[in-house]
């Protein structure tokens, strides 16, 4: 990697879904403290791009360089929660899985940030969609400070209070030097986030 | 990096099974019902029952294992847990290796081990001798992990396929045939007062080979399924 300050750099990235090339020749670099807002109409490959960057899929062409020291947190469309576990158990499992801090204080603080502390013993089955999203997002607060966050539609199903909580968490993360790549079909509401916009262009037929 | 993935997934799966006890007991109930049908269908002739017992018990154990393995990864794929587990395993083709091992272990603890524990009861029902029942348990101890490992491979290969359960049985049951032959063969050998050593050696060799190869193949299949 040429520039030490670049957390993740992608060059000439192309992604194909079946016969359709979603994007090609995509260049991207993410630096500490940046928030990158990936925009584009439905089906333009926002989710596919995030999955490529997370390492869940391999690009059709191009390469991705990552700072190996930095943890990555990927939160997709689905919340990765189990109906039969409680809120606290779910968060603990997801945190432990990635080897992050699973101390009771860290988990409690994370749940408090998203206003779920009173529901920590409730089974996930009894939660609404917005509350489930909050549990999934609470995991961000247990990750190491400088981690790279890859968030796919994090504002989905959140109410105003939830959006505010996430905005605060996002701006604190950026202030600490952490970077975020996110997709959102609603405009970002907190102006202090100052996102860099990455527009995914027209899909091209193969 | 891999240790927390293995223990986290195993711990969660056991906890989930404890929350859904009825689901966890279904394979065992299937085994009990299927085995109990044979004396009713074949007739209560003790010699016949003794003769068919090893085969019947082993076939039913195999089917119970196959029926319970179909959903091993499906739920986790639908709700996104599988992606998280693979990301936690790191990048690369074998990212899912700790997940594959943890899932096979949890499947064995939840179906294989209970089958080993209740098998003696059904051995008595078929009038097997004490030594034969011992051999039955030993053969199941060596054989049921093979079924869990191969079943996990089948579940990973058929992930996201419609009617995956039927396809899984068609794919994996042929691979289980050696375990079935040597497992029930060991019990039959003891029952006819012959040496079962050869059967046990081959069963052990099968266990080692499956233990080494199946998780790698499962991890590769999971990688393909989530891409």
**What does the pLDDT read at residue A79?**
93
Domain of residue B210, residue span: 2-226
List chain B pLDDT tens, one digit each, 227 residues.
Answer: 456 899 999 999 999 999 999 988 999 999 999 999 999 999 989 999 999 999 999 999 999 999 899 889 999 999 999 999 998 887 677 889 999 999 999 999 999 999 999 999 999 999 999 999 999 999 999 999 999 999 999 999 999 888 888 899 999 999 999 999 999 999 999 989 889 999 999 999 999 999 999 999 999 999 998 88
**Phi, psi angles (nearest 5°) of residue A151:** -120, 125
Inter-chain contacts counted by CB atoms under 8 A, chains A and B: 64
**What does the pLDDT read at residue B3?**
61
* Total number of domains constituting chain B: 1
User: Does residue A77 belong to the interface with chain B, where contact is any CB pair within 8 Å?
Assistant: yes
Q: Which residues fall within 8 angstroms of residue A25, CB to CB, at 6 or more apart?
A: A12, A13, A14, A62
Residues on chain A touching B78 (C-beta within 8 angstroms):
78
User: Does residue B84 belong to the interface with chain A, where contact is any CB pair within 8 Å?
Assistant: yes
Q: Do B83 and A94 touch (CB under 8 A)?
A: no
**What does the pLDDT read at residue A190?**
72
Q: Answer whether B147's CB lies under 8 Å from B206's CB.
A: no
Which of B16, B78, B87 lies closest to A85 in CB terms?
B16
Note the pLDDT tens digit of each residue in A170-204: 999 999 989 999 998 888 877 677 788 888 775 44
Band (pLDDT 50/70/90 cuts) for residue A119 is very high
Q: Do A76 and B20 touch (CB under 8 A)?
A: no
Distances (CA, A) of B200 to A91, A172, B146, B209: 44, 61, 13, 14
Q: Name the DSSP letter for residue B92.
A: S
Q: Answer whether A53's CB lies under 8 Å from A8's CB.
A: yes
Whole-angstrom Cα distance, residue A115 to residue A117? Answer: 6
User: Does residue A69 belong to the interface with chain B, where contact is any CB pair within 8 Å?
Assistant: no
């988990």: which residue's tokens?
A: A107
ipTM for the whole complex: 0.88
């Amino acid at each position: 990697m040429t520039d030490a300050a670049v957390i993740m750099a992608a060059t000439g990235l192309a992604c194909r879904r079946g016969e359709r090339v979603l994007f090609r020749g995509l260049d991207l670099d993410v630096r500490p403290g940046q928030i990158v807002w990936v925009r584009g109409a439905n089906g333009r490959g926002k989710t596919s791009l995030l999955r490529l960057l997370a390492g869940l899929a391999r690009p059709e062409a191009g390469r991705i360089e990552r700072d190996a020291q930095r943890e990555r947190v990927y939160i997709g469309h689905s919340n990765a929660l189990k109906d039969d576990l409680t809120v606290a158990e779910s968060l603990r499992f997801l945190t432990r899985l990635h080897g992050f801090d699973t101390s009771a204080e860290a988990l409690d603080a994370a749940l408090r940030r998203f206003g779920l502390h009173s529901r920590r013993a409730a089974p996930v089955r009894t939660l609404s969609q917005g509350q489930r999203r909050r549990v999934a997002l609470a995991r961000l607060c247990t990750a190491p400070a400088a981690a790279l966050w890859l968030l796919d539609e994090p504002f989905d199903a959140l109410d105003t209070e939830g959006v505010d909580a996430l905005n605060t968490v996002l701006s604190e993360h950026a202030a600490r030097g952490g970077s975020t790549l996110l997709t959102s079909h609603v405009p970002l509401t907190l102006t202090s986030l100052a996102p860099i916009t990455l527009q995914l262009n027209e899909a091209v037929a193969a | 990096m891999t240790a927390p993935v293995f223990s986290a997934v195993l711990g969660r799966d056991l906890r989930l099974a404890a929350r859904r006890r009825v689901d966890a007991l279904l394979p065992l109930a299937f085994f009990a019902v299927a085995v109990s049908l044979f004396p009713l269908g074949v007739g209560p002739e003790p010699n016949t029952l003794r003769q068919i017992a090893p085969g019947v018990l082993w076939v039913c154990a195999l089917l119970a294992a196959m029926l319970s393995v179909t959903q091993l990864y499906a739920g986790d794929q639908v709700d996104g847990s599988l992606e998280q587990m693979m990301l936690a395993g790191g990048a690369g083709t074998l990212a899912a290796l700790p997940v594959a091992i943890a899932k096979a272990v949890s499947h064995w603890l939840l179906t294989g081990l209970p089958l080993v524990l209740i098998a003696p009861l059904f051995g008595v029902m078929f009038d097997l001798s004490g030594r034969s029942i011992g051999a039955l348990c030993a053969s199941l101890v060596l054989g049921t992990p093979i079924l869990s490992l191969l079943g996990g491979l089948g579940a990973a290969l058929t992930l996201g396929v419609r009617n995956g359960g039927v396809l899984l049985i068609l794919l994996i049951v042929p691979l289980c045939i050696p375990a079935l032959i040597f497992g029930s063969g060991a019990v039959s050998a003891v029952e006819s007062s012959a040496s079962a050593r050869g059967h046990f050696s081959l069963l052990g060799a099968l266990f080692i080979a499956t233990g080494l190869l199946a998780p790698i193949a499962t991890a590769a299949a999971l990688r393909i399924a989530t891409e």
